[in-house]
Chain A
Protein backbone atom coordinates (compact mmCIF):
# COMPACT_ATOMS: atom_id res chain seq x y z
CA UNK A 1 0.00 0.00 0.00
CA UNK A 2 2.89 2.25 0.76
CA UNK A 3 4.13 1.97 -2.79
CA UNK A 4 0.86 2.45 -4.57
CA UNK A 5 -0.70 5.28 -2.59
CA UNK A 6 0.38 7.86 -5.11
CA UNK A 7 -1.00 5.85 -8.01
CA UNK A 8 -4.38 5.60 -6.36
CA UNK A 9 -4.20 9.32 -5.61
CA UNK A 10 -3.38 9.97 -9.25
CA UNK A 11 -6.34 7.94 -10.46
CA UNK A 12 -8.71 9.58 -8.01
CA UNK A 13 -7.55 13.07 -8.91
CA UNK A 14 -7.85 12.42 -12.62
CA UNK A 15 -11.35 11.02 -12.35
CA UNK A 16 -12.26 14.00 -10.17
CA UNK A 17 -10.74 16.39 -12.69
CA UNK A 18 -12.64 14.97 -15.60
CA UNK A 19 -15.96 14.92 -13.82
CA UNK A 20 -15.67 18.11 -11.81
CA UNK A 21 -13.91 19.91 -14.63
CA UNK A 22 -16.98 19.73 -16.74
CA UNK A 23 -19.62 20.13 -14.09
CA UNK A 24 -18.37 22.82 -11.74
CA UNK A 25 -19.06 26.46 -12.63
CA UNK A 26 -16.35 28.53 -14.17
CA UNK A 27 -15.99 32.32 -14.25
CA UNK A 28 -17.14 34.03 -17.41
CA UNK A 29 -14.17 35.70 -19.00
CA UNK A 30 -14.26 37.46 -22.36
CA UNK A 31 -13.27 35.32 -25.35
CA UNK A 32 -12.73 32.28 -23.16
CA UNK A 33 -16.24 31.61 -21.79
CA UNK A 34 -16.62 27.90 -21.16
CA UNK A 35 -13.45 26.91 -22.95
CA UNK A 36 -11.44 27.97 -19.94
CA UNK A 37 -12.08 24.42 -18.86
CA UNK A 38 -9.35 23.45 -21.29
CA UNK A 39 -7.00 24.79 -18.67
CA UNK A 40 -7.50 21.65 -16.64
CA UNK A 41 -6.02 19.65 -19.47
CA UNK A 42 -3.83 21.82 -21.63
CA UNK A 43 -1.94 23.68 -18.91
CA UNK A 44 -1.55 20.53 -16.84
CA UNK A 45 0.09 18.80 -19.79
CA UNK A 46 2.75 21.47 -19.86
CA UNK A 47 3.27 21.26 -16.12
CA UNK A 48 3.72 17.51 -16.38
CA UNK A 49 6.08 17.91 -19.32
CA UNK A 50 8.20 20.43 -17.44
CA UNK A 51 8.39 18.22 -14.38
CA UNK A 52 9.45 15.28 -16.53
CA UNK A 53 12.05 17.24 -18.45
CA UNK A 54 13.48 18.65 -15.23
CA UNK A 55 13.73 15.10 -13.88
CA UNK A 56 15.46 14.10 -17.06
CA UNK A 57 17.88 17.02 -16.76
CA UNK A 58 18.68 16.12 -13.16
CA UNK A 59 19.39 12.51 -14.00
CA UNK A 60 21.40 13.48 -17.07
CA UNK A 61 23.66 15.57 -14.89
CA UNK A 62 23.93 12.75 -12.38
CA UNK A 63 24.78 10.33 -15.15
CA UNK A 64 27.56 12.59 -16.36
CA UNK A 65 29.09 12.70 -12.91
CA UNK A 66 28.53 9.09 -11.89
CA UNK A 67 28.52 7.16 -15.15
CA UNK A 68 25.88 4.74 -13.87
CA UNK A 69 23.59 3.39 -16.51
CA UNK A 70 20.56 3.56 -14.22
CA UNK A 71 20.65 7.32 -14.31
CA UNK A 72 20.80 7.25 -18.06
CA UNK A 73 17.75 4.98 -18.24
CA UNK A 74 15.76 7.30 -16.01
CA UNK A 75 16.85 10.35 -18.00
CA UNK A 76 15.86 8.82 -21.31
CA UNK A 77 12.51 7.46 -20.15
CA UNK A 78 11.68 10.76 -18.50
CA UNK A 79 12.37 12.47 -21.81
CA UNK A 80 10.22 9.98 -23.71
CA UNK A 81 7.27 10.52 -21.41
CA UNK A 82 7.86 14.25 -21.46
CA UNK A 83 7.68 14.26 -25.25
CA UNK A 84 4.37 12.39 -25.03
CA UNK A 85 2.94 15.04 -22.73
CA UNK A 86 4.32 17.82 -24.84
CA UNK A 87 2.60 16.42 -27.92
CA UNK A 88 -0.61 16.06 -25.94
CA UNK A 89 -0.24 19.65 -24.83
CA UNK A 90 0.13 20.77 -28.42
CA UNK A 91 -2.90 18.72 -29.48
CA UNK A 92 -5.12 20.02 -26.67
CA UNK A 93 -4.02 23.53 -27.45
CA UNK A 94 -4.67 23.03 -31.12
CA UNK A 95 -8.18 21.70 -30.58
CA UNK A 96 -8.91 24.66 -28.30
CA UNK A 97 -7.53 27.03 -30.90
CA UNK A 98 -9.75 25.59 -33.61
CA UNK A 99 -12.86 26.50 -31.69
CA UNK A 100 -11.72 29.78 -30.24
CA UNK A 101 -9.54 31.34 -32.89
CA UNK A 102 -10.85 29.43 -35.87
CA UNK A 103 -7.54 27.89 -36.88
CA UNK A 104 -5.66 24.78 -35.83
CA UNK A 105 -2.40 26.67 -35.62
CA UNK A 106 -1.41 30.33 -35.63
CA UNK A 107 1.84 32.17 -35.96
CA UNK A 108 2.27 32.92 -32.30
CA UNK A 109 5.44 33.11 -30.22
CA UNK A 110 4.30 30.66 -27.59
CA UNK A 111 3.04 28.10 -30.06
CA UNK A 112 6.19 28.27 -32.12
CA UNK A 113 8.29 27.98 -28.99
CA UNK A 114 6.41 24.89 -27.89
CA UNK A 115 6.71 23.30 -31.33
CA UNK A 116 10.45 23.96 -31.51
CA UNK A 117 10.87 22.48 -28.04
CA UNK A 118 9.23 19.33 -29.30
CA UNK A 119 11.55 19.30 -32.29
CA UNK A 120 14.55 19.66 -30.01
CA UNK A 121 13.58 16.71 -27.87
CA UNK A 122 12.66 14.60 -30.87
CA UNK A 123 16.17 15.28 -32.13
CA UNK A 124 17.33 13.94 -28.76
CA UNK A 125 15.51 10.70 -29.55
CA UNK A 126 17.15 10.51 -32.96
CA UNK A 127 20.54 11.07 -31.38
CA UNK A 128 19.98 8.26 -28.91
CA UNK A 129 19.07 5.91 -31.71
CA UNK A 130 22.10 6.87 -33.74
CA UNK A 131 24.66 5.81 -31.17
CA UNK A 132 25.01 2.13 -30.50
CA UNK A 133 27.59 1.99 -27.74
CA UNK A 134 25.73 2.30 -24.44
CA UNK A 135 28.31 4.22 -22.48
CA UNK A 136 28.83 6.71 -25.23
CA UNK A 137 25.10 7.01 -25.82
CA UNK A 138 24.48 7.93 -22.21
CA UNK A 139 27.13 10.61 -22.08
CA UNK A 140 26.46 12.20 -25.43
CA UNK A 141 22.70 12.31 -24.98
CA UNK A 142 23.18 13.73 -21.48
CA UNK A 143 25.22 16.61 -22.89
CA UNK A 144 22.62 17.27 -25.58
CA UNK A 145 19.84 17.05 -23.00
CA UNK A 146 21.41 19.88 -21.02
CA UNK A 147 21.62 22.06 -24.11
CA UNK A 148 18.06 21.19 -25.06
CA UNK A 149 16.75 22.05 -21.61
CA UNK A 150 18.44 25.43 -21.55
CA UNK A 151 17.08 26.25 -25.00
CA UNK A 152 13.63 25.09 -23.94
CA UNK A 153 13.70 27.47 -20.99
CA UNK A 154 14.67 30.29 -23.33
CA UNK A 155 11.81 29.41 -25.63
CA UNK A 156 8.93 28.97 -23.29
CA UNK A 157 9.86 31.40 -20.57
CA UNK A 158 11.83 34.24 -22.10
CA UNK A 159 10.44 34.77 -25.57
CA UNK A 160 6.76 34.91 -24.70
CA UNK A 161 7.49 37.57 -22.11
CA UNK A 162 9.17 39.70 -24.71
CA UNK A 163 6.40 40.02 -27.23
CA UNK A 164 2.65 40.12 -27.44
CA UNK A 165 0.82 36.92 -27.78
CA UNK A 166 -2.69 35.83 -28.68
CA UNK A 167 -2.36 33.06 -26.17
CA UNK A 168 -4.62 33.53 -23.13
CA UNK A 169 -2.86 34.99 -20.10
CA UNK A 170 0.77 35.83 -20.31
CA UNK A 171 1.80 33.42 -17.68
CA UNK A 172 0.50 30.44 -19.64
CA UNK A 173 3.02 27.71 -19.87
CA UNK A 174 4.61 26.97 -16.58
CA UNK A 175 4.08 30.33 -14.95
CA UNK A 176 1.02 31.01 -12.91
CA UNK A 177 -1.95 32.10 -14.89
CA UNK A 178 -3.52 35.44 -14.61
CA UNK A 179 -6.87 34.08 -15.62
CA UNK A 180 -8.59 35.38 -12.54
CA UNK A 181 -8.87 31.91 -11.22
CA UNK A 182 -11.71 31.92 -8.80
CA UNK A 183 -12.02 29.49 -5.98
CA UNK A 184 -14.16 27.12 -7.98
CA UNK A 185 -11.53 26.74 -10.61
CA UNK A 186 -8.79 26.40 -8.08
CA UNK A 187 -10.65 23.49 -6.54
CA UNK A 188 -10.33 21.57 -9.75
CA UNK A 189 -7.12 23.03 -11.10
CA UNK A 190 -4.74 22.14 -8.31
CA UNK A 191 -5.79 18.49 -8.10
CA UNK A 192 -5.68 18.37 -11.89
CA UNK A 193 -2.07 19.52 -11.98
CA UNK A 194 -1.10 17.00 -9.36
CA UNK A 195 -3.10 14.25 -11.05
CA UNK A 196 -1.64 14.75 -14.51
CA UNK A 197 1.90 15.12 -13.19
CA UNK A 198 1.53 11.93 -11.17
CA UNK A 199 0.25 10.21 -14.30
CA UNK A 200 3.36 11.33 -16.14
CA UNK A 201 5.58 10.03 -13.37
CA UNK A 202 3.63 6.77 -13.31
CA UNK A 203 4.09 6.23 -17.04
CA UNK A 204 7.76 7.06 -16.64
CA UNK A 205 8.29 4.55 -13.83
CA UNK A 206 6.55 1.85 -15.84
CA UNK A 207 8.80 2.52 -18.80
CA UNK A 208 11.87 2.48 -16.57
CA UNK A 209 10.85 -0.88 -15.17
CA UNK A 210 10.30 -2.30 -18.65
CA UNK A 211 13.67 -0.96 -19.72
CA UNK A 212 15.45 -2.43 -16.70
CA UNK A 213 13.79 -5.78 -17.20
CA UNK A 214 14.73 -5.96 -20.85
CA UNK A 215 18.30 -5.04 -19.94
CA UNK A 216 18.46 -7.80 -17.35
CA UNK A 217 17.01 -10.26 -19.83
CA UNK A 218 19.50 -9.37 -22.51
CA UNK A 219 22.36 -9.62 -20.03
CA UNK A 220 21.18 -13.03 -18.96
CA UNK A 221 20.93 -14.19 -22.54
CA UNK A 222 24.40 -12.90 -23.20
CA UNK A 223 26.08 -14.88 -20.43
Chain B
Protein backbone atom coordinates (compact mmCIF):
# COMPACT_ATOMS: atom_id res chain seq x y z
CA UNK B 1 0.00 0.00 0.00
CA UNK B 2 1.24 3.46 -0.81
CA UNK B 3 2.05 5.44 2.28
CA UNK B 4 3.77 8.76 2.02
CA UNK B 5 6.72 9.36 4.27
CA UNK B 6 4.98 11.81 6.55
CA UNK B 7 2.25 9.28 7.51
CA UNK B 8 4.72 6.69 8.67
CA UNK B 9 6.39 9.04 11.07
CA UNK B 10 5.55 9.10 14.72
CA UNK B 11 5.68 12.88 14.72
CA UNK B 12 2.19 14.29 14.06
CA UNK B 13 3.53 17.71 13.06
CA UNK B 14 5.97 16.45 10.45
CA UNK B 15 3.62 17.18 7.55
CA UNK B 16 2.78 20.63 8.80
CA UNK B 17 6.42 21.47 9.29
CA UNK B 18 7.42 20.24 5.87
CA UNK B 19 4.61 22.27 4.30
CA UNK B 20 5.66 25.37 6.16
CA UNK B 21 9.23 24.85 5.05
CA UNK B 22 8.15 24.56 1.43
CA UNK B 23 6.01 27.63 1.83
CA UNK B 24 8.90 29.64 3.25
CA UNK B 25 11.16 28.52 0.45
CA UNK B 26 8.75 29.36 -2.34
CA UNK B 27 7.58 32.75 -1.10
CA UNK B 28 10.64 34.60 0.09
CA UNK B 29 9.33 37.95 -1.12
CA UNK B 30 6.31 37.94 1.16
CA UNK B 31 8.22 37.63 4.39
CA UNK B 32 10.09 40.51 6.01
CA UNK B 33 13.76 40.38 5.28
CA UNK B 34 15.38 39.54 8.59
CA UNK B 35 18.26 41.59 9.89
CA UNK B 36 21.73 40.12 9.55
CA UNK B 37 23.74 39.28 11.57
CA UNK B 38 21.92 38.14 14.66
CA UNK B 39 23.77 39.41 17.72
CA UNK B 40 24.12 38.39 21.33
CA UNK B 41 24.92 41.13 23.79
CA UNK B 42 26.86 40.47 26.96
CA UNK B 43 27.19 42.89 29.82
CA UNK B 44 29.42 43.34 32.83
CA UNK B 45 30.71 46.00 35.19
CA UNK B 46 33.85 46.77 33.22
CA UNK B 47 32.88 45.92 29.67
CA UNK B 48 30.21 44.84 27.26
CA UNK B 49 30.59 42.33 24.47
CA UNK B 50 28.76 41.65 21.26
CA UNK B 51 29.00 38.33 19.50
CA UNK B 52 27.71 37.60 16.02
CA UNK B 53 27.88 34.65 13.68
CA UNK B 54 29.41 35.64 10.34
CA UNK B 55 30.33 32.40 8.61
CA UNK B 56 32.22 32.56 5.34
CA UNK B 57 33.21 36.20 5.65
CA UNK B 58 36.79 37.34 5.44
CA UNK B 59 37.60 39.45 8.54
CA UNK B 60 39.07 42.03 6.15
CA UNK B 61 35.60 42.57 4.65
CA UNK B 62 34.02 43.50 7.98
CA UNK B 63 33.90 47.08 9.13
CA UNK B 64 33.15 47.92 12.74
CA UNK B 65 32.51 51.49 13.76
CA UNK B 66 31.54 53.02 17.07
CA UNK B 67 29.98 56.41 17.49
CA UNK B 68 28.79 57.41 20.94
CA UNK B 69 26.67 54.47 22.01
CA UNK B 70 25.94 52.99 18.60
CA UNK B 71 28.08 50.20 17.23
CA UNK B 72 27.76 49.32 13.56
CA UNK B 73 28.82 46.09 11.93
CA UNK B 74 28.90 46.27 8.14
CA UNK B 75 30.35 44.13 5.42
CA UNK B 76 29.66 41.90 2.51
CA UNK B 77 28.98 38.21 2.16
CA UNK B 78 30.59 37.19 -1.08
CA UNK B 79 29.11 34.40 -3.13
CA UNK B 80 31.43 31.44 -3.70
CA UNK B 81 33.37 31.35 -6.95
CA UNK B 82 31.96 28.61 -9.13
CA UNK B 83 32.64 27.87 -12.78
CA UNK B 84 30.02 28.94 -15.31
CA UNK B 85 29.22 25.36 -16.17
CA UNK B 86 28.26 24.63 -12.57
CA UNK B 87 24.71 23.64 -11.77
CA UNK B 88 23.17 24.68 -8.46
CA UNK B 89 21.38 21.96 -6.53
CA UNK B 90 20.63 24.09 -3.51
CA UNK B 91 21.15 27.65 -2.47
CA UNK B 92 20.16 28.18 1.13
CA UNK B 93 22.84 30.64 2.14
CA UNK B 94 22.44 34.29 1.28
CA UNK B 95 24.90 36.85 0.02
CA UNK B 96 25.29 40.55 -0.34
CA UNK B 97 26.02 43.64 1.68
CA UNK B 98 24.83 43.91 5.24
CA UNK B 99 24.83 46.50 7.98
CA UNK B 100 23.56 46.32 11.50
CA UNK B 101 23.56 48.93 14.23
CA UNK B 102 23.47 47.93 17.86
CA UNK B 103 22.88 50.29 20.76
CA UNK B 104 25.42 49.86 23.53
CA UNK B 105 24.51 50.33 27.20
CA UNK B 106 27.04 53.19 27.42
CA UNK B 107 28.92 55.60 25.20
CA UNK B 108 32.25 54.11 24.17
CA UNK B 109 35.32 55.51 22.53
CA UNK B 110 36.73 53.91 19.41
CA UNK B 111 40.06 53.07 21.07
CA UNK B 112 38.43 50.90 23.72
CA UNK B 113 36.90 48.49 21.24
CA UNK B 114 38.53 45.17 20.51
CA UNK B 115 37.27 42.75 17.87
CA UNK B 116 38.29 39.18 17.28
CA UNK B 117 37.08 36.57 14.84
CA UNK B 118 37.34 32.82 15.41
CA UNK B 119 35.80 30.21 13.15
CA UNK B 120 33.31 32.66 11.71
CA UNK B 121 32.16 34.05 15.06
CA UNK B 122 32.87 37.72 15.65
CA UNK B 123 33.42 38.91 19.19
CA UNK B 124 33.61 42.59 19.97
CA UNK B 125 34.54 43.69 23.47
CA UNK B 126 33.82 47.30 24.37
CA UNK B 127 35.47 48.71 27.47
CA UNK B 128 33.27 50.78 29.72
CA UNK B 129 34.61 54.27 30.31
CA UNK B 130 35.82 54.98 33.86
CA UNK B 131 33.25 57.69 34.52
CA UNK B 132 30.40 55.39 33.56
CA UNK B 133 31.27 52.54 35.90
CA UNK B 134 29.16 51.97 38.98
CA UNK B 135 30.69 53.78 41.93
CA UNK B 136 30.31 52.83 45.52
CA UNK B 137 29.09 55.66 47.64
CA UNK B 138 30.40 55.79 51.11
CA UNK B 139 28.10 56.71 53.91
CA UNK B 140 29.56 59.27 56.21
CA UNK B 141 28.90 59.24 59.89
CA UNK B 142 26.76 62.10 60.94
Answer yes or no: are A and B bound together in one complex.
Answer: no
| Contact surface of B with A, Cβ cutoff 8 Å | none
| Contact surface of A with B, Cβ cutoff 8 Å | none
